[in-house]
Amino acid sequence: MAERHGIYVSEVPGSVITPVQQNFTLPVAIGTAPVNLSKFSAPPVNVPILCYSYQEAVDAIGYSDDWEDYTLSEVIYSHFQLYKQSPIVLINVLDPAEHKTTVAPEAVSLMDGTATLPSGIIKGSVTVKDEDGSTTYVLDTDYTLNFDADGNLILKIKSGGAIANNATLQVGFDQIDASKVDAADIIGGVDSTTLAVTGLELLNQVFPRFRLVPGIVIAPGWSDDPTVAAVMVAKASLINNHFRAQAITDLPSDLQYTAAPAWKEEHGYTDPRQFNTYPKVTKSGKVYRLSTHLAGVICRTDAGNAGIPSLSPSNKSMEIDGTRTDDRELALGPEHTEYLNAAGIHTALNFIGGWATRGNRTGAYPAQSDPQSAFIPVRRMMDWIANSVTLTYWRYLDGAINKRLVEAITDSVNIWLNGLTSNGYILGGRVEFLSEENPPENIMDGKLKFHIYVTPPSPAQVIDFVLEYDVNYLAAIAA
């Protein structure tokens, strides 16, 4: 090799740790779907499905305008069509193998070789026979079956098949039955024999499957059940033993607004990671649970704030045109919404600029009034910071404990917190490695503790103006 003579420079990768954080809020919705319409080879039952578009969600779990039976259809429509947000994780618990009703064969008359069968039919269960039931016809040889845009199954004879154009047939089938799904299916669990995971227990599978941390959990149509709500909060509060999310729950919409605060307290909708909503809302003739819309508002607000949940979801525009109970329209004024907000209940208000969300408080309020328990954005920021630290510093697990490791972590966290401060996401923050929290016996045992001090901003809950008549300005008359 030639002799080198001069000044040479080489470059090594920087040692600054890049924080790992999601730039969006990931909602997880659990409920029921018309999975007989799924385009998957096997209908997705009790499996998290990550969807980035409306069509992707519809292809995966189907869609129906019957939102009472198929609660995830409401979520799909609101999240993608109204709030234009993405992605979302959907968990359907309706199992066609279990939640079904068998319809005995009955006469169906063809018209021009076609018959329209009811919605909800499980395609593979259909039997087609001649009028007296003696001959069984063969799918894709004598006839075809395809769903129309409304979810109805269309039976059409095939040219060259054995069915006459205007024949009368005996058609039997199984039909999915959402009424057979109950709260226990939503709650789910782990089967002790098969180890199959179902329901809300599947929250623990979201991160291992997609490497995305759940941000909020909703179960519209089910979360007004106190048992379901309690499990939602418990599961969201600690996911995979490391991550923290929040649950958005509905109060029963058959309540009068004056009874909502007492019902909330009596049934334990009082956790700091629980955001309660009341009543239902409407848009262009469709009726929604408010939790569905609050999830959309939160995702849209965070998306406009670099994915950081430092802004309150209150006083943000909503894609609604009314509020209602189960049986009538409900016109809430500012005084009504303040009454609900004072009890830790989120609602909606039609005021300056149109319909907007209304409420800064978690379910813990008013029993707990400290900011990180009582204010939605403060609680969410504390959890977001905890999740981000977990994701970023996981790489340091099992490294050698020495001064370099401690300084690398403290320097990196402080740089990150300074950045959040300069951008207004927090008022200030720092991390310290305190000797009193790290005694030698802990360090010898491989245990380190870093103390993060941080202050997320509280929302401007009250702005007071003092109005006073000032006689001194009368002098302007004679000036």
DSSP string, 404-473: HHHHHHHHHHHHHHHHHHHTTSSSEEEEE--GGGS-HHHHHTT----EEEEEPPPP-----------GGG
Q: Is 465 helix (H, G, I), strand (E, B) or coil?
A: coil
Rounded CA-CA distance 373/103 in Å is 52
**pLDDT band with cut points at 50, 70 and 90 for residue 5:** low
Average pLDDT over residues 54-64: 97
Please check whether residue 1 lies inside any domain of the structure: no
Please check whether residue 10 lies inside any domain of the structure: no
User: Are 421 and 460 in a shared domain?
Assistant: yes
Determine the pLDDT at residue 23: 82
User: Are 117 and 53 in a shared domain?
Assistant: no
Q: Is the pLDDT of residue 44 over 60?
A: yes
Q: Is the pLDDT of residue 98 over 90?
A: yes
Give the least confident one: 4-18, 103-117, 255-269, 356-370: 4-18
**pLDDT band with cut points at 50, 70 and 90 for residue 325:** very high
Greatest Cα pair distance, the chain, in angstroms, is 108
User: Are 313 and 458 in a shared domain?
Assistant: no
Determine the pLDDT at residue 18: 72
**pLDDT band with cut points at 50, 70 and 90 for residue 214:** very high
Q: Is the pLDDT of residue 294 over 70?
A: yes
Give the H/E segment covering residue 154. strand 152-157
Please check whether residue 311 lies inside any domain of the structure: yes
**How does pLDDT run across 159-178, given as a tens digit for each residue?**
999 999 999 999 999 999 99
Q: Is the pLDDT of residue 465 over 70?
A: yes
Give the H/E segment covering residue 98. none
Rounded CA-CA distance 382/379 in Å is 5
The answer to whether 329 and 322 are in contact (CB under 8 A) is yes
Determine the pLDDT at residue 437: 95
Please check whether residue 363 lies inside any domain of the structure: yes
User: Are 143 and 220 in a shared domain?
Assistant: no
User: Are 284 and 430 in a shared domain?
Assistant: no
User: Are 322 and 431 in a shared domain?
Assistant: no
User: Are 316 and 442 in a shared domain?
Assistant: no
The single-letter code of the amino acid at 79 is: H
Owning domain of residue 88? 26-95+183-376
Write down which residue in 141, 176, 211 finishes a domain: 176
pLDDT higher for 17 or 405?
405
Please check whether residue 78 lies inside any domain of the structure: yes
Please check whether residue 7 lies inside any domain of the structure: no
Please check whether residue 388 lies inside any domain of the structure: no
Average pLDDT, whole number, for the chain? 95
Average pLDDT over residues 402-428: 96
Average pLDDT over residues 377-406: 96
Write down which residue in 361, 376, 391 finishes a domain: 376
**pLDDT band with cut points at 50, 70 and 90 for residue 478:** confident
User: Are 203 and 264 in a shared domain?
Assistant: yes
Determine the pLDDT at residue 33: 98
User: Are 338 and 239 in a shared domain?
Assistant: yes
Write down which residue in 376, 396, 424 finishes a domain: 376
User: Are 141 and 229 in a shared domain?
Assistant: no
CATH number at residue 190: 3.40.50
Average pLDDT over residues 292-314: 97
User: Are 161 and 281 in a shared domain?
Assistant: no
- The number of domains in the chain is 3
Determine the pLDDT at residue 19: 75
Determine the pLDDT at residue 479: 76
Please check whether residue 301 lies inside any domain of the structure: yes
What is the percent of the chain where pLDDT is above 70? Answer: 97
Query: Which among 21, 73, 14 has a CA at the least distance from the CA of 309?
Result: 21
Determine the pLDDT at residue 21: 77
